[in-house]
């Protein structure tokens, strides 16, 4: 009965008559809310009408093509030309209907379904102070479907912070029905794109952060953790780690990182052959479709390394970053994943108190398209304005 009624409504062009039929049918046969039932019927009727209009246009185009072909076969080129010239508009209309027809219908059900399946943001593992005295804090969550920028001057630790955020996300546990942590990690893949360092260097840094151990021996010439880890993966003996417990913990942490994180691709470290943003977005779309695990978040170190693939000369950098950021923003909203990038600040940042969003180097479009911006100042640097260590 509903299918027959949809056919009737879709063929009714008089809107007043259409609304009357809808209300009467909804009162007689609708279950629950009359308004809800009426909307459901209307949506089906709109779609049926659109399909009917499309079929009519298509039949008209096919008829015109056949008429033009017949005229050509008879040698009547003028009639064929006249028929084809009138056909161009109909073909364009048909193509535009296919391109834009999705916007004709109510998308309330899609929106509600999207909200229901909305992925949660990524917990950074850090807290932000809400009060100047530090009495109130809240978890720093990177929202899904949005860009977050982590800005700092050179050597102020933005890459280190980014890697620690990744480690915190990898250590996060799934919640049970009561909201308590389980032993299972949160499923999904974290994609980490590096544009300054090679994959091996980034891998060693992640191992260092994941192990979270002081590997320096006591009483011997001191070596940095990264140097010890580099020796370890190069096949050299780590005899200089004298403490047996530390050595045992480190070996266990390395096995965990490789077996539980890298091999099941919970973390994917990527260094692309080019810095073109189109290549970045192309790889992201491919991985999102092909990966067995869903993509939890994307990390890029760092945004000013990206460029536009163009043969044009004298491209204005601000315009280039505008194109880059708007393209990334569009992808992020479609993919609905947290997108976290580091960003370089200008040399104008002389102290912690100078930090502001406008110091993001090269383009205001970084500030315009980012949902959240975190600005860092390392306490290893003295303030140039008052000489104090912040």
DSSP character at residue 79: H
pTM over cut 0.85: no
Q: How many residues does the chain have?
A: 390
Q: Do the bridges between strand 146-152 and strand 173-175 make them parallel or antiparallel, or are there none, so unpaired?
A: unpaired
d(C-alpha 133, C-alpha 150), whole Å: 23
Q: What average pLDDT values come out for the chain (390 residues) when binned by 10 residues?
A: 73 71 72 58 67 71 81 82 69 58 60 63 80 70 88 85 91 80 85 91 91 72 78 70 79 90 90 89 85 85 85 72 89 89 82 79 81 84 52
Contact 332, 147 (CB under 8 A): yes
d(C-alpha 288, C-alpha 294), whole Å: 7
Q: What's the pLDDT tens digit per position in 11-65?
A: 776 767 777 777 777 777 765 555 566 666 666 666 666 666 667 777 777 787 8
d(C-alpha 218, C-alpha 231), whole Å: 18
Contact 266, 170 (CB under 8 A): yes
356-364: long-range contacts (C-beta < 8 A, 24 or more apart)?
A: 357/151, 359/151, 360/149, 360/151, 361/304, 362/304, 362/317, 362/318, 362/321, 363/317, 363/318, 363/321, 363/322, 363/325, 364/318
Peptide bond into 302 cis (omega under 30): yes
Task: Write out the H or E segment, with its range, that includes residue 181.
Answer: strand 181-185
Q: Quote the tokens at residue 186.
A: 């949160």
Which residues, at least 6 apart from 276, have a Cβ–Cβ distance to it below 8 Å?
A: 306, 307, 308, 309
Q: Do the bridges between strand 181-185 and strand 267-270 make them parallel or antiparallel, or are there none, so unpaired?
A: unpaired
Q: What's the pLDDT tens digit per position in 145-193?
A: 889 998 888 888 889 999 999 999 998 888 777 777 788 888 888 999 9
Q: What pLDDT does residue 389 have? A: 43
Q: How far is CA 330 from CA 118, 336, 337, in A?
A: 17, 10, 12
Contact 153, 360 (CB under 8 A): no
Residue written as token pair 């909305």: 118
d(C-alpha 22, C-alpha 281), whole Å: 46
Q: How far is CA 140 from CA 124, 125, 126, 345, in A?
A: 6, 7, 6, 21
Chain mean position to CA 248: 39
Residue written as token pair 């189109």: 278
Radius of gyration of the chain (CA): 30
Q: Quote the tokens at residue 132.
A: 């100047």
Interhelix angle 244-256/199-211, rounded to 10 degrees, is: 120
Contact 165, 146 (CB under 8 A): no
Q: What pLDDT does residue 193 have? A: 94
């Amino acid at each position: 009965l509903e299918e027959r009624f949809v056919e009737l409504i879709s063929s009714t062009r008089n809107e007043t008559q259409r609304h009357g039929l809808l209300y009467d049918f909804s009162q007689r046969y609708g279950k629950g809310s009359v308004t809800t039932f009426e909307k459901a019927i209307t949506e089906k009727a709109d779609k049926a009408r659109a399909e009917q209009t499309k079929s009519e246009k298509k039949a008209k185009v096919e008829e015109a093509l056949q008429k033009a072909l017949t005229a050509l076969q008879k040698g009547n080129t003028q009639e064929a030309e006249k028929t084809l010239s009138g056909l161009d508009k109909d073909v364009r209309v048909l193509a535009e209907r296919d391109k834009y027809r999705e916007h004709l219908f109510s998308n309330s059900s899609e929106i509600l379904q999207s909200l229901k399946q909305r992925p949660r943001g990524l917990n950074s593992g850090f807290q932000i102070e809400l009060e100047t005295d530090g009495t109130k804090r809240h978890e720093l969550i990177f929202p899904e479907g949005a860009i977050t920028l982590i800005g700092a001057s050179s050597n102020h630790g933005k890459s280190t912070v980014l890697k620690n955020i990744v480690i915190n996300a990898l250590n996060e546990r799934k919640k049970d029905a009561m909201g308590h942590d389980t032993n299972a990690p949160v499923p999904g893949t974290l994609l980490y794109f590096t544009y300054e360092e090679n994959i091996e260097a980034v891998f060693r840094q992640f191992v260092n952060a994941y192990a979270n151990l002081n590997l320096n021996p006591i009483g011997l010439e001191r070596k940095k953790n990264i140097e010890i880890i580099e020796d370890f993966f190069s096949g050299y003996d780590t005899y200089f780690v004298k403490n047996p417990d530390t050595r045992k913990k480190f070996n266990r942490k390395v096995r965990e990182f490789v077996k539980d994180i890298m091999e099941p691709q919970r973390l994917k470290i990527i260094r692309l052959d080019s810095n073109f943003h189109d290549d970045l977005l192309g790889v992201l779309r491919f991985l999102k479709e092909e990966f067995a695990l869903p993509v939890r978040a994307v990390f890029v170190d760092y945004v000013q390394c990206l460029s536009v693939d163009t043969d044009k000369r004298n491209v204005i950098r601000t315009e280039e970053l505008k194109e880059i950021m708007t393209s990334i923003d569009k992808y992020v909203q479609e993919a609905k994943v947290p997108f976290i990038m580091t960003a370089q600040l200008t040399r104008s940042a002389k102290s912690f108190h100078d930090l502001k969003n406008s110091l993001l180097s090269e383009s205001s479009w970084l500030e315009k398209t980012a949902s959240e911006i975190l600005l860092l100042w390392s306490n290893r640097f003295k303030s140039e304005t008052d000489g104090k260590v912040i």
